[in-house]
Amino acid sequence: MESPAEIIQHTAGGAIGLSWLMIVLPLLGALILLVLNRRTDRWGHLLGVAMSLASFVVAVLAFVELLGLGEAERRQAVHLYEFIPGMVDMGLLIDPLSISFALLITGVGSLIHIYSIGYMSHDPDRRRFFAYLNLFVAAMLLLVLSDNYVGLFIGWEGVGLASYLLIGFWQFKPSAAVAAKKAFVVNRVGDLGLLVGMFIVWTSFGTLAFADLGTKVGTASDGTLTAIGLLFLLGACGKSAQLPLQSWLLDAMEGPTPVSALIHAATMVTAGVYLVVRSGGFFFPEGSPQALAVAIVGAATLLAGAIIGCAKDDIKKGLAGSTMSQIGYMMLGAGLGPVGYAFAIGHLITHGFFKANMFLGAGSVMHGMNDEVNMRKYGGLRKHMPITFVTFLVGYLAIIGFPLLSGYFTKDGIIETAVHHQPVLGWLAVLGAGLTGFYMSRMVFMTFFGEKRWDKDAHPHESPAVMTWPLIILSIGSLFLGGYLILSNRLMLWLSPAVGRPEVLPEFHFLSTPGLATLGLVAVGAAFAWMRYGRATVPVVAPRGSFLTTFARRDLYGDAINESLLMRPGQWLTRFAVYFDNRGIDGLVNGLAAGIGGSSGRLRRLQTGFARTYALSILIGAALVTGALLLVGNI
Amino acid sequence: MTTHYLILSGLLFAIGAIGVLTRRNAIVVFMCVELMLNACNLAFVTFARQVGNLEGQIIAFFVMVVAAAEVVVGLAIIVTIFRTRRSASVDDVNLLKY
C-alpha cells in the first residue's frame, strides 16, 4: 500500500490561504442573525443563503488551486493562531479528503438553504432557522478542515449543538423537545469516547496534530492503538447513529425536513465516517481488531437500519432507517482499510446527493399534503407532483443501485471489496442491498403509485420553483456522480495523498458474482414490494403485522433496551438518592436539631423567676461542692 | 477553746440561710443575708485567733465594707421596687424568667 503524502506548511496566499473564510463567513451570518434578532426577519434568509454560497465559492476556489498542485503537494496546512500554548496550534488542513467534504457540505448545504426559503416561508421563525443552519455549516466545516483533533472536537460539538437546536426547532411540540434532548444525550455518550480517546492520544504521543501523529504513531503498542481506535469508534457510533447508539436518529426526524436532509442524512451523520477515515492511517491499521470492529458495526447497522426501514409508515422515519443503513455501508467500507476508503467516501458523497434529494422530495410531498407524514395517507401523487416524483424516482433508483446510477457504483464498490476481504460481512451487505430494494420500492409505491388515500382536506400541489430547482440539481448529481467518481478510480487517485491507496488499484467489474447477486436480490425485493404495495391495495390503518413487523416498527426494541438497561436503573438510583437524602441525611440533621431544641425547652423551665428557688439551688450547690472537697480530703 | 465560737458561727449561718429561704419580706431576707455575712466574719476572726495571725481579721474588715456597699445598693433596689409595685415580697418580683 502507498502511504499518504507529507503535510506541507502553506505559505503562499491564494484561496487555500483564505480557506478560513469558509468557516468564518457562515459563523458571521449566524452571529448577525442571532444578535440582530427580529430586525433581520425580512432579509435574514437571504443573508443565510449568501453566506453559505460564499463559503461554497471559497471551497471551489481552494479546490481548483489544490488541483493545480502536484500530487505530493496536495496536503497543505494553513496555520492560523496558537490556541493553547505548547499544546494546540489552531490551523486548517486543506487536502483532498477535507476539500471533498467541504465541497459536499457547502454545495449540498447551499442547495438546502435555498430550498428552505420555500419550505419555511410560512414559519414566523424562519430567520432563526437560517441562523442555526449557518451555525451548523460553520461547525461542520471546522470539523472537517481542522488540522488537529482539538479543532475537530470543537466542530464535532458545534454540529451536535446545531443538531440539537434544529431538531428542537419547533420546541412548542413536546415530541420535538424530547427528541432534541435524546439526540443530545445519546451523542454525549459517543463524545465521551472521542474525548477519552483524545486524552490517550495526548498522553501517548504528546501531540494532537495530524501532521505530527504520522511519524509518532509507530512508537505505540498495539494495545494503545486498539484502545484509541475503539474509543474513536464509540464517538463515530454516536455521531453516525451506528449500533448501539442508533436510537436518536429516528426521533431526530421531528425537526424540519431540510434539517433532516442536511444534518441527519447528507453531512453531520457522516462525521463518524470522516473520523474513521481521517484517523485510519494512525489508529486503524489494516487487519487490526479495531478496524474489524468498525466493519462489524457497519455491517450490523446496515442490516438493522434496512429492517427498520421496511416497516415504517412515516416517510421520514423510513428514510432515516435508510440513512442508518447507508452509513453502515460506509462504515463497512471504512473498516476495510485503504482499499475501502475511496468507496466509503464515494458512497458518502453520492449518498449526500441522493438522500438529500429524497429527503427534500419527502419535504416537498409533505409541503403539498398539509405536513402529513404517514405514507398510508399518500398514494397516486405522481400526477400531482411531477417534478418531485421524477427527482424522487432518480434518488430511489440511485439508492437501490440501479445499474449505471450513482449508488450502483459506490455501493457495489463497497460490497465487492467487502466480499473480497471480509466475505461474511460482504454477503451480509448483499442481503442489506436486497432489503434496500424492498423498503425503498415500498416507499415509492405507497407515495406516488396506487389509489388516492388522502385526507379529505388535502390538496396536493407541486412546490414552488425555489424548492424544485435544488431537487433537480441534486437528482442530476444522483444520476452521474457515482460513475464519474468510481470509474477509472478517479476518487481513489484523488484521495490517495490524504488517505493512501492500495498497491494494486481495483478494477470495476460490471458482471461480478456479488454484483449480480446484489442486482438479483434488489429485483426480488422491488418485485415483492410491487406485489404488496403496488398492485395490492394499501390499508389506510396499519395492520397488526407479524412479530417481525412489530420488531422493526419498534426500532428493533432499541428504545426498550435503552430504557430497561440504562434509564430505569438510573431512575432507581436517583430515587434512592433522593430518599436517602430526605430520610437519611436530612433526618439525621433535623433530628439532632429537634432533640437539642426539645431538651433546651425543658431545661428553660428551671428559670422560674422566684429568687428563693435560686437561693436554694445556690445553697445546695455550695453544699455539694463543700461535700465533694471534704470527700477528696484536699482541704 | 475556739469550738464554741465556731458553733455559734455555724448556728448564726444556718439561721440566716433558713431565713433567706423561708421569709418573703425583702427587708427580712436582707437582714438574714447580713446575719450570714456576720457569721462568716465570726468564723474568720475565730480562725485568725486560733492560727495566731491577723489575716482573718483583715478579711473581716473587707467583708464589712462590702456588706455596707451591698446594703446601700440593695436597699435602694428594694425601695424602688416597693415604690413601683407596692410590695416588698421577693416572690412578687418574678418577671425575669423563661
Beta-carbon separation of A609 and B96 below 8 A: yes
Interface test with A, best of B32, B91, B92, B95 (most A CBs within 10 A): B91
pLDDT score for B5:
93
pLDDT score for A87:
80
CB atoms within 10 A of CB A433: 30
Mean pLDDT of A215-222: 80
Predicted confidence band of residue A114 (pLDDT cuts 50, 70, 90): very high
The Cα–Cα gap between A602 and A418 comes to: 85
In this structure, what C-alpha cell is assigned to residue A144? 472537517
Task: Select from A482, A534, A526 the least CA-distant residue to A508.
Answer: A482
| Residues on chain B touching A612 (C-beta within 8 angstroms) | 20-22, 24, 90-91
Q: Does A601 touch chain B (CB under 8 A)?
A: no
Interface test with A, best of B13, B21, B85, B95 (most A CBs within 10 A): B21
Do residues A444 and A381 lie in contact, with contact meaning Cβ atoms separated by under 8 Å?
A: no
Distance of CA A376 to the CA centre of its chain: 28
Chain B residues contacting A via beta carbons under 8 Å: 17, 20-22, 24, 90-91, 93-98
B21, B95, B96 ranked by CB distance to A616: nearest: B21
- The nearest CA of chain B is from the CA of A593 a distance in Å of 20
Beta-carbon separation of B21 and A610 below 8 A: no
Beta-carbon separation of A616 and B95 below 8 A: no
Q: Does A619 touch chain B (CB under 8 A)?
A: yes
CB atoms within 10 A of CB A622: 11
Backbone angles phi, psi at B32, to 5 degrees: -65, -40
Beta-carbon separation of A609 and B95 below 8 A: yes
Q: Does A602 touch chain B (CB under 8 A)?
A: no
* pLDDT tens digits along A242-265: 888 888 888 888 888 898 888 888
Beta-carbon separation of B94 and A610 below 8 A: yes
Beta-carbon separation of A608 and B97 below 8 A: yes
Beta-carbon separation of B21 and A612 below 8 A: yes
Q: Which residue of A has its CA nearest to B19?
A: A612
Q: Which fold, B3-85? A: Helix Hairpins (1.10.287)
pLDDT score for A491:
84
Predicted confidence band of residue B18 (pLDDT cuts 50, 70, 90): very high
C-alpha Rg value of chain B to the nearest Å:
16
The residues with which A9 forms a beta bridge, in sequence order, are A77
pLDDT score for A635:
56
Do residues A201 and A208 lie in contact, with contact meaning Cβ atoms separated by under 8 Å?
A: yes
Strand segments (E) across A11-146: 76-84, 88-94
Beta-carbon separation of A611 and B97 below 8 A: no
Interface test with A, best of B18, B20, B23 (most A CBs within 10 A): B20
The Cα–Cα gap between A276 and A561 comes to: 27
The Cα–Cα gap between A350 and A484 comes to: 11
Amino acid at A334: A
pLDDT score for A454:
80
pLDDT score for A110:
93
* pLDDT tens digits along B54-94: 999 999 999 999 999 999 999 999 999 999 988 888 888 88
Amino acid at A489: N
Mean of the per-residue pLDDT values of chain A: 87
C-alpha Rg value of chain A to the nearest Å:
31
What is the residue extent of each domain of chain B?
A: 3-85
pLDDT score for B38:
94
| Residues on chain B touching A616 (C-beta within 8 angstroms) | 21
* pLDDT tens digits along A586-626: 999 999 999 999 999 998 888 888 888 889 999 999 999 99
Q: Which residue of A has its CA nearest to B20?
A: A612
The Cα–Cα gap between A164 and A160 comes to: 6
* pLDDT tens digits along A51-105: 999 999 999 999 998 888 887 888 888 888 888 887 888 888 888 899 999 999 9
Interface test with A, best of B23, B29, B97 (most A CBs within 10 A): B97
The Cα–Cα gap between A72 and A385 comes to: 49
Q: In Å, how far are A453, A580, A587, A589 from A595, measured between CA atoms?
A: 74, 21, 12, 10
Q: Does A615 touch chain B (CB under 8 A)?
A: yes
* pLDDT tens digits along A388-422: 899 999 999 999 888 888 888 888 888 888 888 88
Q: Tell me whether residue A439 is exposed, middle or buried, using C-beta atoms within 10 angstroms of its C-beta: 0 to 12, 13 to 18, 19 or more.
A: buried
Mean pLDDT of A418-437: 89
A488 pLDDT higher than 90: no
The Cα–Cα gap between A444 and A110 comes to: 26
Mean pLDDT of A320-331: 91
pLDDT score for A549:
79
The Cα–Cα gap between A578 and A569 comes to: 14
pLDDT score for B8:
95
A607, A608, A615 ranked by CB distance to B21: nearest: A615
- The nearest CA of chain A is from the CA of B96 a distance in Å of 5
Q: Which residue of B has its CA nearest to A605?
A: B98
Q: Which residue of A has its CA nearest to B18?
A: A616
Predicted confidence band of residue A580 (pLDDT cuts 50, 70, 90): very high
The DSSP letter of residue A81 is E
Residues in chain A: 635
* pLDDT tens digits along A117-169: 888 888 888 889 999 999 999 999 999 999 889 999 999 999 999 999 999 89
Beta-carbon separation of A619 and B21 below 8 A: yes
Beta-carbon separation of B20 and A615 below 8 A: yes
pLDDT score for A563:
82
Q: Does A604 touch chain B (CB under 8 A)?
A: yes
pLDDT score for A1:
61
> What is the rounded (10 degree) CA torsion for A223, A226, A231, A236?
170
- The nearest CA of chain A is from the CA of B65 a distance in Å of 23
Q: CB neighbours of A67 closer than 8 A, spacing ≥ 6? A: none
Instruction: Tell me if residue A609 falls in helix, strand or coil.
Output: coil
A605, A615, A619 ranked by CB distance to B98: nearest: A605
Q: Does A594 touch chain B (CB under 8 A)?
A: no
In this structure, what C-alpha cell is assigned to residue A154? 470543537
Mean pLDDT of A207-225: 83
| Residues on chain B touching A619 (C-beta within 8 angstroms) | 17, 21
Please count the residue pairs, one from chain A and one from chain B, whose beta carbons lie less than 8 angstroms apart: 30
Do residues A236 and A295 lie in contact, with contact meaning Cβ atoms separated by under 8 Å?
A: no
Predicted confidence band of residue A634 (pLDDT cuts 50, 70, 90): low
Q: Which residue of B has its CA nearest to A608?
A: B97
The Cα–Cα gap between A54 and B71 comes to: 104
Write the ipTM. Answer: 0.87
Predicted confidence band of residue B97 (pLDDT cuts 50, 70, 90): confident
The Cα–Cα gap between B6 and A129 comes to: 106
Amino acid at A17: G
The DSSP letter of residue A173 is S
Q: Does A607 touch chain B (CB under 8 A)?
A: yes
Q: Does A616 touch chain B (CB under 8 A)?
A: yes
Q: Does A612 touch chain B (CB under 8 A)?
A: yes
Do residues A384 and A469 lie in contact, with contact meaning Cβ atoms separated by under 8 Å?
A: no
| Residues on chain A touching B98 (C-beta within 8 angstroms) | 604-605, 607-609
Percent of chain A whose predicted confidence (pLDDT) is above 70 = 99
pLDDT score for A509:
78
A609, A615, A616 ranked by CB distance to B97: nearest: A609
The DSSP letter of residue A18 is T
Degrees, nearest 5: CA angle A390-A392-A397 = 95
B22, B91, B97 ranked by CB distance to A607: nearest: B97
Beta-carbon separation of B96 and A605 below 8 A: no
pTM of the complete model beyond 0.80: no
Q: CB neighbours of B27 closer than 8 A, spacing ≥ 6? A: B78, B88
Strand segments (E) across A281-357: none
More confident residue, A8 or B35: B35
Beta-carbon separation of A611 and B90 below 8 A: yes
Q: Which residue of B has its CA nearest to A603?
A: B98
> What is the rounded (10 degree) CA torsion for A600, A601, A607, A608?
-160
Q: Which residue of A has its CA nearest to B97?
A: A609
A458 pLDDT higher than 80: no
